[in-house]
Structure formats: structure tokens, C-alpha cells
Amino acid sequence: MPRTRTIARSVLVLTVAAAACVLASCNTVKGVGKDLQEASEATERAISG
């Protein structure tokens, strides 16, 4: 029984760690998207006027 509990705990820890990584990467990708959009808008403004 203790081995089953250890495996279950390990799976839970890995799942939580993976979820944290996924959430962190989503925020990073969203930030990069905003930066690229702002840079393209600034370039467009500079070209047009």
C-alpha cells in the first residue's frame, strides 16, 4: 500500500508542476503577442506619418 501512495503522490506533484508550467507559458506567449502587436502599430504610425 505505501508504494501505491508514493506513486499517486508523485503523479499529483508532476501534474501540478506541469499545470504551473502551462499557465506560465500561456502568459509569456500572450505577452509576446502584445509586444509584437504594439511594435507593428508603432512601425505603421512611423511609416504613415
- Domain definitions of the chain by residue range: 18-49
Please state, in angstroms and rounded to a whole number, the distance separating the CA atoms of residues 45 and 33.
Answer: 18
pLDDT at 25: 83
Q: What is the pLDDT of residues 1-49, one digit of tens each?
A: 688 999 999 999 999 999 888 888 888 888 888 888 999 999 999 898 7
pLDDT at 42: 92
pLDDT at 40: 93
Q: What angle do CA 47, 48, 49 make, to 5 degrees?
A: 100
Whole-structure pTM value: 0.56
pLDDT at 24: 84
